[in-house]
Each structure stands twice: as structure tokens, then as C-alpha cells.
């Protein structure tokens, strides 16, 4: 079991639909939150909603070279009991047509920024803390028309599995969550291409509840079939 009451959790991608839903549930469990996102305005709105549960904010873009360090600066010198990585962008289109700018942003936001962040934050995590990274079902089932996006999510999942082994001796639990398509609106805001017709997705509130339950219960793997 992971004790969430009075814990300090860094949530990256806090202002997204799924990220904010996770924040609400962590706050309901008594956690104190440092929120990170790309929009100062959205961070302020979420912080106002969550009230005293929020102890810090960091406006940062993982797609920028300075993004990970700006997030680290927001928690540096403070005890961090958990990290939730809920940031991400999506792109659609045939693999042979994805341009360099799109590839770069997908890799930076979905994978490289997180890896750079964890390089700095993981050594700070005390025994009994956790990392929860939210990947996607495409990490299990790479999808045509989403090859580059699938690759970044598969890379994130693989990174988390290796991180689990490396941080075990430190007493840190790493959870890799791979929810099915969820109605977050992300598919309607791609950085490139246009989403194909998708089936009705999962309720983000239910997905967030399942993820926070997994964090609390100390689970290490949350496949798409678990939602």
C-alpha cells in the first residue's frame, strides 16, 4: 500500500483531462500537489479548484530544451513522494509522411522530456514513494496511421519497465499504466494529421480512478485489459 495522505506528488501534464482527473483524486486522498503544465492560466484555474492541496506550480513545456529543468526547479529542495506523468501529444498519418518537426515533438513530449526529468527526480525519491507513468494501449498494439505515436508510447512503457528494476532497491514503485482509448479530447487536437474514426472511448474519470487505485495499492503494471 502507498500512503497518499500528506504525501507530496508532482503531476506532469496536470491540466489535461486525464491529468486533472488524477489530480482531483489524489487531492481527495489527502495528497499535496505540485502541478506542471504548459499553460499558466490552466494551472491557475486547476490550483484554484483544488485549493490548499496545491503547494506548487510549474509552467513548462517538455517539447522545449529547458522544460524538464523548469519542472525540477519547482520541487528542488523539497521531499517528493510521488511523480505522475500524464503529459502527451498525438499525431496521425502514414509513417512515411510524418515530418521531422512532428517526430521531434512526439519524442520530446512523450518520451525524452520524461526521461530527462526522471534522471533528475528519481534520485530524490525516498523509500516508499512511487512513479506512475501513463502510456497508452498503442504501446501494446501499435496502430497503423499512428506509427510514430505508437513508438513513443512503446518506448515510454519499456523505459518504465527498466526503471522498475533500477529503482526497486531504492524502495520506489514504478507503475506503467496503458489505458485504452479514452475520451480526453486529445485525438481532436493532434499536432499533425487527422484522427481516423475511433470507437467510443473510456470515461476519463473512471480511468483516473483506476490509476489512483493502482498507485494506492502498489501495483506495477496496469495493462489496457485492466480498465
- Is a pLDDT exceeding 90 seen at residue 197? no
Domains annotated for the chain, with CATH where assigned, are: 9-226 (3.40.50.720)
Which residue carries 499553460 as its cell? 39
CA atoms within 13 A on the CB side of 90: 21
Counting residues of the chain whose pLDDT is more than 90, the rounded percentage is 95
pLDDT, mean of residues 92-107? 97
Cell of 167: 529503482
CA distance 191 to 105: 8
Q: What would the pLDDT profile of 111-132 be if each residue is shown by its tens digit?
A: 999 999 999 999 999 999 999 9
Residues 6+ apart with CB under 8 A from 77: none
pLDDT, mean of residues 1-19? 96
pTM: 0.96
CA distance 211 to 58: 23
Amino acid at each position: 500500500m502507498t500512503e497518499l495522505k500528506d504525501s507530496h506528488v508532482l503531476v506532469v501534464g496536470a491540466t489535461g483531462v486525464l491529468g486533472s482527473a488524477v489530480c482531483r483524486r489524489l487531492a481527495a486522498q489527502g495528497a499535496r500537489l505540485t502541478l506542471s503544465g504548459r499553460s499558466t492560466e490552466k494551472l491557475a484555474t486547476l490550483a484554484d479548484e483544488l485549493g490548499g492541496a496545491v503547494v506548487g506550480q510549474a509552467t513548462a513545456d517538455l517539447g522545449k530544451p529547458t522544460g524538464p529543468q523548469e519542472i525540477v526547479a519547482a520541487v528542488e529542495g523539497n521531499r517528493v513522494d510521488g511523480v505522475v506523468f500524464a503529459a502527451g501529444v498525438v499525431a496521425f498519418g502514414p509513417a512515411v509522411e510524418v515530418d521531422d518537426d512532428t517526430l521531434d515533438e512526439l519524442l520530446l513530449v512523450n518520451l525524452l522530456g520524461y526521461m530527462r526529468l526522471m534522471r533528475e527526480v528519481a534520485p530524490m525519491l525516498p523509500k516508499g514513494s512511487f512513479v506512475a507513468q501513463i502510456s497508452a494501449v498503442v504501446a501494446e498494439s501499435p496502430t497503423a496511421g499512428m506509427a510514430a505515436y505508437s513508438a513513443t508510447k512503446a518506448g515510454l512503457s519499456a523505459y518504465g519497465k527498466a526503471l522498475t528494476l533500477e529503482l526497486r532497491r531504492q524502495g520506489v514503485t514504478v507503475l506503467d499504466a496503458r489505458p485504452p482509448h479514452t475520451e480526453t479530447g486529445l485525438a481532436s487536437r493532434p499536432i499533425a494529421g487527422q484522427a481516423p474514426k475511433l470507437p467510443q472511448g473510456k470515461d476519463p474519470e473512471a480511468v483516473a480512478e483506476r490509476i489512483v487505485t493502482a498507485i494506492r495499492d502498489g501495483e506495477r503494471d496496469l495493462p489496457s485489459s485492466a480498465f
